[in-house]
């Protein structure tokens, strides 16, 4: 069976719809709390490549009325300085969400930084508590990219239940959380990684392929089962162009649906992060409200 060009799963329109809803939630939060929801992004060394991506997130926040800004530390900042900065943001009641720029400089331990983030403000789901909640099937904060990879399927009405899914990549922020989310959606999931012996063989059996390996051209049309759905999470710069991990031209001839790069998972990721932030803000406000209420007396006196 051949497919005359795959359906494109584009994140732009989905993101716009989400942003409209978030803007309404932000407006009502601001009206009731007397301040907008706040996001702070800790950046360590302004020249890191991810700064451009983070600037885009801040602009997206500003557009929906979120008070978002950078907290800039020097590239030579120590681990103690970074964790102290994160803790100060945890204690700041005008800050609802905290993101730390990744990857960290080699001198700073990831574990020390993720442990420092208040799980209630961890809107990109990197704290072990949120990772554990996902693993156990409870509602915590999801890593936004993994969330978007699965949400783009749901919003495109692609059936996940009972289907064979292959996730390529086992990182803590993308591959593994995407795999857990797919299991939660009742897919049968195989996680492939650098040591996988027969990547093509696994991919060929998959109805859904999620690729998050950071290798342009890793998956080609020749590897896919005809009619497979392909979610490309990769963002690579090749000859000045942004491309994913999937060889788009060959894959679109074989797949039934595929996310373009750019324009697929990326825009949805940024929009979902906004939903995580407003949720963090609303939850913390509700908790503050509850702690101000007089204690309810028990009936056993
Ligand atoms: P990301 O943040 O996008 O998940 P990482 O660099 O943290 O990226 O992780 C890359 C993941 O991709 C790793 O789990 C690695 O095992 C997997 N990977 C990299 N190259 C290959 C490959 N050639 N085949 C299969 N998996 C790969």
Instruction: Give the position, in ligand 1's atom list, of the atom nearest the Cα of 168.
Output: 26
Q: Is 190 in the pocket of ligand 1 (CB under 6 A)?
A: no
Instruction: Write out residues in the chain with pLDDT < 50, as ranges.
Output: 301
Query: Domain map of the chain by residue range?
Result: 18-118, 144-265
pLDDT of residue 194: 98
- List Cα–Cα distances, 45 to 72, 97, 104, 105, 235, in angstroms: 7, 20, 10, 9, 21
pLDDT of residue 50: 84
> Could you report how far apart the first and last alpha carbons of the chain are, in Å?
74
Pocket test for ligand 1, best of 193, 200, 245 (most atoms within 8 A of CB): 193
pLDDT of residue 300: 56
Q: Is 209 in the pocket of ligand 1 (CB under 6 A)?
A: no
Per-residue model confidence as pLDDT tens digits over 9-50: 999 999 999 999 999 999 999 999 999 999 999 999 877 778
Same fold yes or no, 18-118 and 144-265: yes
> 144-265 belongs to which CATH class?
alpha beta
Nearest to 143 by CA among 299, 289, 273: 273
Residue nearest to atom 3 of ligand 1 (CA): 212
Question: Distance, CA 214 to ligand 1 centroid (Å)?
Answer: 6
Question: Distance, CA 171 to ligand 1 centroid (Å)?
Answer: 7
pLDDT of residue 48: 72
**Whole-number Å distance between alpha carbons of 141 and 205:** 31
pLDDT of residue 47: 75
Q: Is 109 in the pocket of ligand 1 (CB under 6 A)?
A: no
pTM, full prediction: 0.95
Instruction: Give the position, in ligand 1's atom list, of the atom nearest the Cα of 215.
Output: 20
Q: Is 236 in the pocket of ligand 1 (CB under 6 A)?
A: no
pLDDT of residue 237: 93
Say yes or no: domain 18-118 is CATH 3.40.50.10860.
yes
pLDDT of residue 79: 98
Q: Is 196 in the pocket of ligand 1 (CB under 6 A)?
A: yes
pLDDT of residue 3: 57
Q: Is 119 in the pocket of ligand 1 (CB under 6 A)?
A: no
Residue nearest to atom 11 of ligand 1 (CA): 169
Q: Is 213 in the pocket of ligand 1 (CB under 6 A)?
A: yes
Q: Is 171 in the pocket of ligand 1 (CB under 6 A)?
A: yes
């Amino acid at each position: 069976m051949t497919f005359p060009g795959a359906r494109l799963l584009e994140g732009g329109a989905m993101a716009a719809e989400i942003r409209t809803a978030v803007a309404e939630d932000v407006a009502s939060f601001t009206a009731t709390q007397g301040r907008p929801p706040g996001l702070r992004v800790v950046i360590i060394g302004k020249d890191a490549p991810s700064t451009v991506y983070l600037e885009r997130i801040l602009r997206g926040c500003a557009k929906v009325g979120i008070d978002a800004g950078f907290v800039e530390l020097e590239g030579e900042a120590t681990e103690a300085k970074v964790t102290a900065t994160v803790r100060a943001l945890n204690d700041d009641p005008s800050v609802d969400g905290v993101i730390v720029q990744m990857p960290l400089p080699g001198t700073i331990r990831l574990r020390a930084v993720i442990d420092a983030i208040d799980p209630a403000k961890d809107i990109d789901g990197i704290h072990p508590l949120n990772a554990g909640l996902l693993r156990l099937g409870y509602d915590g904060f999801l890593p936004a990219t993994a969330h978007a990879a699965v949400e783009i399927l749901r919003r495109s009405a692609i059936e996940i239940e009972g289907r064979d899914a292959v996730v390529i990549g086992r990182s803590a922020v993308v591959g593994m959380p995407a795999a857990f989310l797919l299991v939660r959606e009742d897919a049968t999931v195989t996680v492939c990684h650098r040591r996988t012996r027969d990547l093509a063989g696994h991919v060929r059996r998959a109805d859904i392929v999620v690729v998050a390996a950071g290798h342009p051209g890793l998956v080609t049309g020749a590897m896919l089962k005809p009619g497979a759905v392909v979610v490309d999470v990769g963002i690579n710069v090749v000859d000045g162009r942004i491309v994913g991990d999937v060889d788009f031209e060959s894959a679109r001839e074989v797949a039934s649906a595929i996310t373009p790069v750019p324009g697929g998972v990326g825009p949805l990721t940024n929009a979902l992060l906004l939903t995580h932030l407003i949720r963090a803000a609303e939850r913390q406000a509700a908790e503050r409200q509850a702690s101000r209420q007089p204690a309810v007396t028990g009936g056993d006196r």
